[in-house]
Each structure stands twice: as structure tokens, then as C-alpha cells.
């Protein structure tokens, strides 16, 4: 199966805007637009991996909104919603924007899907303004629950060995649909990766994973306050001059 074909499946087109991590990112972006970026003109926001545009459309009244995604079907839906959206693979294709164009770039649960995250982050650095912000979220390979699963000899959450089903997490693991994770980051690796590509870490937050049983979900909410152990890591980064 080609990567592009995988992301044409309806299960992976819609953005999960209802998830806690998306709500955290929304609030962070609103704060950046309102309080951190001083400009008289209308600000520009790019959503990389925009899916059907259901996340970025929330900002249409606040700034100019743009999106890119590998899925042709998703881009069609996003355009119909009024988003300036472009179909491309950010692992290998240049973003169709001039240098230093965006005030904010959002990569919500995207970097773990990329075959070449280095190419993508270089493009992000190119099109983001020197005083612009990157908001990025990604699953944490070294989350508390993954450390426990590995001790039990089970496949860590968020990691996938198949494009058809999930394997290695017990009798109900078949119930989970693979979403195409290729590159999983620990908290430490993500910070080092962004620093290497000339981004300064401004803020780090954790978020819980909403696919856990109730007892584990309550524990996960506690660990979400510790980014190095949380299920999801959310970073705001500032491009260095």
C-alpha cells in the first residue's frame, strides 16, 4: 500500500478536535494570536496535516488560515470549508509558500507519520517568520504506560507493526485501527530534534491519552502533568534568529 493511499481512508481524514490534546493546542494558539504576536495586519496560520480542516477552521475569525495534507479527499473537504488548502507530502515536497510567511505553524500529531521529518522541519523553519511560533504535539514513546507495557513484553502504545491491524497488546488489540505512525519520539528526543533545527523551546505541556480504560485513564491524567512521562507531548517553539 502506498502512503498516499493509506491516508485516503476515511478513518484517518477527520481531525480529532474533540481530544484533550487538540483543546490544549487550540488554547495555546489562541493565546499566541492574542497576546504573543504583535502585528497590525491579519496573522497567518498554517496547519500541516490539516485533514478535513476541522481544527484550523476554528481560527478563521482570528487569522488567515492555510492547510496542507497528503490526502486528496481531505483537502477537497477542507477547501469546501473555505480553507486555503494544498495537497502534498511534507516529507518530500516543498511547502508552496514564500520564506518567512507564517506567524504560527501547527503540527498536531503529524511528525510521527513522516518518512522524512528532517525535510519537513527544515521547510517549517523556512516558511515560519523569525518571530513566529511552532506548536507541535506528538505521542510520547517513553510515556509511563509504555514503560509499563514494555516491562510486560507488550507493544507500546502509538507504535504499529502493520497497516491492517494493531498487534502485540493483548486480546483486544485488533479493535484499534492503525493510523500510520512511523517515527515515535521520546520527550528528550523531541527537544533535541527541534533544538538541532534551530528552534528554541518556549513551553512544554503534557496531555493524556483518551483510549485507556477508566482506571488507567485516571492515572494517565496525573502523569499528563509531567511531560517526560505523559502520553502526549505538546511543545511551543520559537524559531531562532
Is residue 105 within 8 A of residue 135, CB to CB? The reply is yes
Break the chain into its structural domains and give their ranges.
Answer: 16-44+98-239
Query: What pLDDT score does 76 carry?
Result: 93
Average pLDDT (235-240) is: 92
Residue 132 neighbours by CB distance under 10 Å? 24
Give the span between the Cα atoms of 66 and 109, in whole angstroms: 17
Give the span between the Cα atoms of 1 and 54, in whole angstroms: 26
Query: What pLDDT score does 162 carry?
Result: 87
Average pLDDT (195-214) is: 92
The CA distances from residue 171 to 19, 52, 166, 174, 179, in Å, are: 25, 32, 11, 7, 19
Is residue 162 within 8 A of residue 178, CB to CB? The reply is yes
Q: Sheet containing 84-87: give its strands across.
A: 84-87, 64-69, 44-48, 102-108, 128-139, 232-239, 199-207
Give the span between the Cα atoms of 179 and 28, in whole angstroms: 25
- The answer, yes or no, to whether residue 17 has pLDDT greater than 70, is no
Residue 111 neighbours by CB distance under 10 Å? 25
pLDDT digits (tens, 9 = 90+) for 40-55: 678 999 999 999 999 9
Quick one: DSSP state of residue 60?
T
Calculate the average pLDDT of the chain.
89
Q: Which three cell numbers stand for residue 140?
A: 510520547
- The answer, yes or no, to whether residue 165 has pLDDT greater than 90, is no
Give the burial string for 55-72 (b: 16+ CB within 10 Å, else e). bbbebeeebebbbbbbbe
pLDDT digits (tens, 9 = 90+) for 173-188: 545 678 889 999 999 9
In the chain, what percentage of residues exceed pLDDT 90? 72
pLDDT digits (tens, 9 = 90+) for 1-13: 566 565 655 555 5
- The answer, yes or no, to whether residue 158 has pLDDT greater than 80, is yes
Query: What pLDDT score does 63 carry?
Result: 93
Give the span between the Cα atoms of 17 and 6, in whole angstroms: 21
- The answer, yes or no, to whether residue 238 has pLDDT greater than 90, is yes
User: For the structural domain made of 16-44+98-239, what CATH number should be given?
Assistant: 3.40.50.150
User: 109 or 212: which carries more pLDDT confidence?
Assistant: 109
Select, from the ranges 128-132, 158-162, 223-227, the one with the highest average predicted confidence (pLDDT).
223-227
Element (H or E) spanning 25, and its range?
helix 20-31
Amino acid at each position: 500500500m502506498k502512503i498516499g493511499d493509506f491516508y485516503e481512508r476515511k478513518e484517518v481524514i477527520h481531525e480529532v478536535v474533540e481530544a484533550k490534546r487538540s483543546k490544549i493546542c487550540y488554547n495555546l494558539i489562541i493565546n499566541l494570536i492574542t497576546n504573543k504576536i504583535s502585528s497590525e495586519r491579519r496573522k497567518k496560520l498554517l496547519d500541516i496535516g490539516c485533514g478535513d480542516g476541522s481544527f484550523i477552521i476554528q481560527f478563521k475569525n482570528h487569522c488567515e488560515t492555510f492547510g496542507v495534507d497528503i490526502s486528496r479527499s481531505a483537502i477537497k473537504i477542507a477547501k469546501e470549508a473555505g480553507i486555503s488548502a494544498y495537497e502534498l507530502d511534507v516529507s518530500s515536497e516543498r511547502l508552496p509558500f514564500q520564506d518567512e510567511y507564517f506567524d504560527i505553524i501547527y503540527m498536531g500529531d503529524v511528525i510521527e507519520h513522516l518518512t522524512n521529518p528532517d525535510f519537513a522541519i527544515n521547510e517549517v523553519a523556512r516558511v515560519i517568520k523569525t518571530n513566529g511560533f511552532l506548536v507541535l504535539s506528538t505521542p510520547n514513546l517513553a510515556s509511563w504506560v509504555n514503560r509499563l507495557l514494555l516491562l510486560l513484553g507488550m507493544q507500546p502504545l502509538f507504535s504499529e507493526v502493520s497497516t491492517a491491524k494493531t498487534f502485540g497488546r493483548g486480546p483486544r488489540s485488533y479493535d484499534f485501527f492503525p493510523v500510520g505512525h512511523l517515527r515515535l519520539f521520546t520527550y528528550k528526543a523531541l527537544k533535541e530534534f527541534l533544538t538541532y533545527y534551530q528552534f528554541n523551546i518556549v513551553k512544554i505541556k503534557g496531555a493524556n491519552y483518551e483510549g485507556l480504560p477508566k482506571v488507567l485513564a485516571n492515572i494517565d491524567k496525573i502523569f499528563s502533568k509531567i511531560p517526560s512521562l505523559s502520553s502526549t507531548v505538546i511543545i511551543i517553539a520559537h524559531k531562532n534568529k
